[in-house]
Amino acid sequence: MTKKRSAPRPSREPAPAAAQESSAAPVPELPVFRELSGARGVRAPLDTLLAGLSRVVPFERASFFFLRPGGGAGLQWAANFRRAPSDDEPEVGLSPRLVNWAMADARPKVAPPGSIGNDRRIYLFLPLWGLGEPLGLVIARTMLDAEGLDVAVESAVQGLAAWFGERVAYAVAYLGAEGERSALAGREAMASALLDSVSEGLVAVDEAGLVSFVNRNARIMLSLFDADYRGRDLVPLLPADVATAFAAVLAEARERGGAPARIVERSAGGADFPLEISATRVLPGKSGPAAGPAASTLLVLRNLSAGARLARLEEIDRLKTEFISTASHELRSPLATVREAVRLLSEGAAGKLSDEQRRLTDMVERNVDWLVRLINDLLDMSRLEAGRIHLDLAAVDLDGLAASVAGRFGVEAERRRLDLRVRLGAPGMRVRADPDRLEQILVNLLANAFKFTLQGFVQLATSTGPDWAEVAVSDSGVGIAADDLPLIFEKFEQVGRRQDLSRKGSGLGLAITRRLVELHGGTIRVASRPDEGSTFTVRLPLAPAAAPEGDGHG
- What is the contact surface with ligand ADP in residues (CB under 6 A)? 448-449, 452, 475, 477-480, 488, 493-496, 505-511, 534
Nearest CB to ligand ADP, comparing residues 37 and 494: 494
Nearest CB to ligand ADP, comparing residues 394 and 449: 449
Nearest CB to ligand ADP, comparing residues 345 and 488: 488
Residue 398 beta carbon to ligand ADP: minimum distance, rounded to whole angstroms: 21
Are 401 and 435 spatial neighbours (Cβ–Cβ below 8 Å)? yes
CA distance 142 to 58: 6
User: CA separation (Å) from 324 to 327, 379, 491?
Assistant: 5, 7, 13
3-state secondary structure 185-202: HHHHHHHHHHHHCCCCEE
Nearest of 26, 155, 2 to residue 92 by alpha carbon: 26
- Which residues sit opposite 266 in a β-bridge? 273
Nearest of 76, 98, 88 to residue 26 by alpha carbon: 76
Are 439 and 540 spatial neighbours (Cβ–Cβ below 8 Å)? no
Residue 353 beta carbon to ligand ADP: minimum distance, rounded to whole angstroms: 31
Residue 133 in 3-state DSSP? strand
Residue 475 beta carbon to ligand ADP: minimum distance, rounded to whole angstroms: 5
**Strand-pair category, 211-214 with 201-206:** antiparallel
Q: Which residue is nearest to ligand ADP (CB)?
A: 505
Neighbours of 203 (CB within 10 A): 26
**Strand-pair category, 419-423 with 457-464:** parallel
Nearest CB to ligand ADP, comparing residues 282 and 389: 389
Residue 473 beta carbon to ligand ADP: minimum distance, rounded to whole angstroms: 7
Nearest CB to ligand ADP, comparing residues 134 and 477: 477
Nearest CB to ligand ADP, comparing residues 379 and 511: 511
Query: CA quadruple 186, 192, 193, 195: dihedral positive or negative?
Result: positive
Residue 459 sits at φ, ψ, to 5 deg, of -130, 140
CA distance 87 to 150: 29
CA distance 132 to 1: 10
Per-residue burial over 308-344, b if 16 or more Cβ lie within 10 Å, else e, is beeeeeeeeeeeebeebbeebeebeeebeebbeebee
Residue 399 beta carbon to ligand ADP: minimum distance, rounded to whole angstroms: 22
Residue 384 beta carbon to ligand ADP: minimum distance, rounded to whole angstroms: 13
Length of the chain in terms of residues written: 554
Nearest CB to ligand ADP, comparing residues 123 and 452: 452
CA distance 309 to 199: 10
Nearest CB to ligand ADP, comparing residues 103 and 461: 461
Nearest CB to ligand ADP, comparing residues 36 and 524: 524
Residue 508 beta carbon to ligand ADP: minimum distance, rounded to whole angstroms: 6
Residue 466 beta carbon to ligand ADP: minimum distance, rounded to whole angstroms: 29
Residue 490 beta carbon to ligand ADP: minimum distance, rounded to whole angstroms: 8
Nearest CB to ligand ADP, comparing residues 16 and 507: 507
Nearest CB to ligand ADP, comparing residues 44 and 487: 487
CA distance 424 to 221: 60
Residue 495 beta carbon to ligand ADP: minimum distance, rounded to whole angstroms: 4
Nearest CB to ligand ADP, comparing residues 182 and 455: 455
Residue 94, CB half-sphere, CA atoms under 13 Å: how many? 27
Query: CB under 8 Å to 395, separation ≥6 — which residues?
Result: 430, 431, 432, 543, 544, 547, 548, 549, 550, 551
Residue 275 beta carbon to ligand ADP: minimum distance, rounded to whole angstroms: 41
Residue 496 beta carbon to ligand ADP: minimum distance, rounded to whole angstroms: 5
